[in-house]
A = this chain, B = another copy of it.
Amino acid sequence: MNSPKNRPQNSWVPGAAGSSYDVDNLPYGVFTRDEEPPRVGVRIGDFVLDVAPVAAGEMLDSAHVFEATSLNPLMGLGRPAWHSVRSWLVSLLTEETERDLVEPNLVPVGDAQLQMPFEVADYVDFYCSLQHATNVGRIFRPDQEALKPNWRYLPVGYHGRAGTVVVSGTPVQRPSGQRVSTGSTTGPTYGSSERLDIEAELGFVVGVSTELGTQVPTSAFADHVFGVTLLNDWSARDIQSWEYVPLGPFLGKSFATTVSGWVTPLEALEAARVELPGQDPEPLHYLKVDEPAGYDVDLEVLLNGDVVSRPPYSAMYWSAAQMLAHLTVNGASLRTGDLFASGTVSGDEPAQRGSFLELSWGGEEPFGDGRTFLRDGDEVTLRASAPGALGGRIALGEVTGRIEPAR
């Protein structure tokens, strides 16, 4: 296996150099082509590298993980192996001498069908944007303090449904359930959600597990987290607002959560690290971070092809390292495939809000084409990019979903 290059170098793959999928990105996914079984792929330019045959040909120790139908075996190898594999991929894709070996295993991205990239173990959703939490508090509880007393002391979170995390492109059926119409005085009725919404988030995917009783310090974040995915936490606001007291969101969220087909390795986001915007009061010791813990990732929310919001991840109050430290402070164990998400990303400006609830201020201030919540047939796409190590920007994998009518 070749050693990593210190001098950044562009890829020889046609069209990759200088693109948002150059060798400073190299996200992992699981793909199928024709009738072949799913296996691991790496995105380079407009191609998917079919890693398994190359790894087998070079008799890589970890070759078997690329034949798997999910990223979990690769994710379970741990940080030194993640780094070695990435360095090897960079060599393959930058050194002209490797071209004859590699080129036959490049699949045009249009010929590859992306599958769910990893098996989700447990899914946790946090609530880490000060702006989002403040907006939601003002909208849902206008007569109270916007932030609950605990919000600035800990990253508030809850468990979501792992079994309904789906890959980008999966249609989203409008959910039905109990909801109370705005202004109703007659109790709940059954019906399909009238306030179907999105939440633009980042998701963090755990590779390295822990034993029950182990606390993961903020400093060990990168030893456990394999990578990052864009995530749409679809939300039925009318179902949620009726059900969520006192035990939190349940059916308002559990019908679907969409992740990108590409998982961006944490190492690819090294150049995107930034200081947090500031925390007051100072966090308790187990939540302290010693190094820049934020990520300068710019998100975009597109509704039927038009950008309706540009949420900046750099504005997030709580960092991912703090989420993980909090999640495990009680000794809860981690498993390969655990997914934890940031909560809606919202910035200071109205055009930086990551949910329709906020963009339409609870449905009272239509935006865009007179929009409040999602209509059947609407397609929502999340995109994101971040500074890469080669001086340009790397793209995170898109998340898209179209709303199907309730059955």
Q: Are B159 and A407 in contact (CB under 8 A)?
A: no
Total contacting residues, chain A, CB less than 8 A = 62
| Chain B residues, CB < 8 A from A153 | 178, 187-188
State the Cβ distance, A371 to closest chain B Cβ, in Å.
23
Q: Are B162 and A162 in contact (CB under 8 A)?
A: yes
A387 within 8 A of B: no
| Chain B residues, CB < 8 A from A178 | 150, 153-154, 284, 329
Q: Are A286 and B190 in contact (CB under 8 A)?
A: yes
A334 within 8 A of B: yes
A117 within 8 A of B: no
A285 within 8 A of B: yes
A30 within 8 A of B: no
Q: Are B173 and A331 in contact (CB under 8 A)?
A: yes
User: Which residues in chain A, 52-77, are within 8 Å of chain B measured between CB atoms?
Assistant: none
| Chain B residues, CB < 8 A from A122 | 161-163
A175 within 8 A of B: yes
State the Cβ distance, A194 to closest chain B Cβ, in Å.
14
User: Which residues in chain A, 218-276, are within 8 Å of chain B measured between CB atoms?
Assistant: 236, 239, 242-252, 254-256
State the Cβ distance, A246 to closest chain B Cβ, in Å.
6
Please pick, from B157, B173, B281, B333, the residue contacting A212 in the complex, using a CB distance under 8 A: B173
Please pick, from B158, B170, B281, the residue contacting A247 in the complex, using a CB distance under 8 A: B158
Most buried by B among A189, A244, A327: A244
A330 within 8 A of B: yes
| Chain B residues, CB < 8 A from A127 | 247
Chain B residue with the shortest CB-CB distance to A406 = B331
State the Cβ distance, A66 to closest chain B Cβ, in Å.
25
Q: Are B158 and A158 in contact (CB under 8 A)?
A: yes
A176 within 8 A of B: yes
| Chain B residues, CB < 8 A from A245 | 148, 150, 246
Q: Are A332 and B248 in contact (CB under 8 A)?
A: no
State the Cβ distance, A201 to closest chain B Cβ, in Å.
14
Is chain A's binding surface mostly helix, strand, loop or mixed? Answer: loop
A39 within 8 A of B: no
A312 within 8 A of B: no
Chain B residue with the shortest CB-CB distance to A244 = B246
Q: A161-B159, A249-B248 are in contact. Are A176 and B338 (CB under 8 A)?
A: no
Q: Are B333 and A163 in contact (CB under 8 A)?
A: yes
A166 within 8 A of B: yes
Chain B residue with the shortest CB-CB distance to A407 = B213
A177 within 8 A of B: yes
Please pick, from B148, B159, B254, B329, the residue contacting A246 in the complex, using a CB distance under 8 A: B148
Q: Are B332 and A251 in contact (CB under 8 A)?
A: yes
Please pick, from B163, B212, B215, B248, the residue contacting A256 in the complex, using a CB distance under 8 A: B212
Q: Contacts A166-B212, A254-B330 given; 10 further ones with Cβ under 8 A?
A: A121-B162, A158-B159, A159-B159, A159-B160, A173-B213, A177-B330, A190-B284, A244-B246, A251-B327, A254-B327
24 A-B contacts (beta carbon < 8 Å): A121-B163, A124-B250, A150-B178, A150-B242, A153-B178, A157-B247, A159-B161, A162-B162, A163-B334, A163-B335, A164-B333, A173-B212, A173-B213, A173-B331, A176-B331, A190-B284, A190-B329, A212-B256, A246-B248, A247-B249, A248-B248, A251-B329, A251-B330, A254-B327
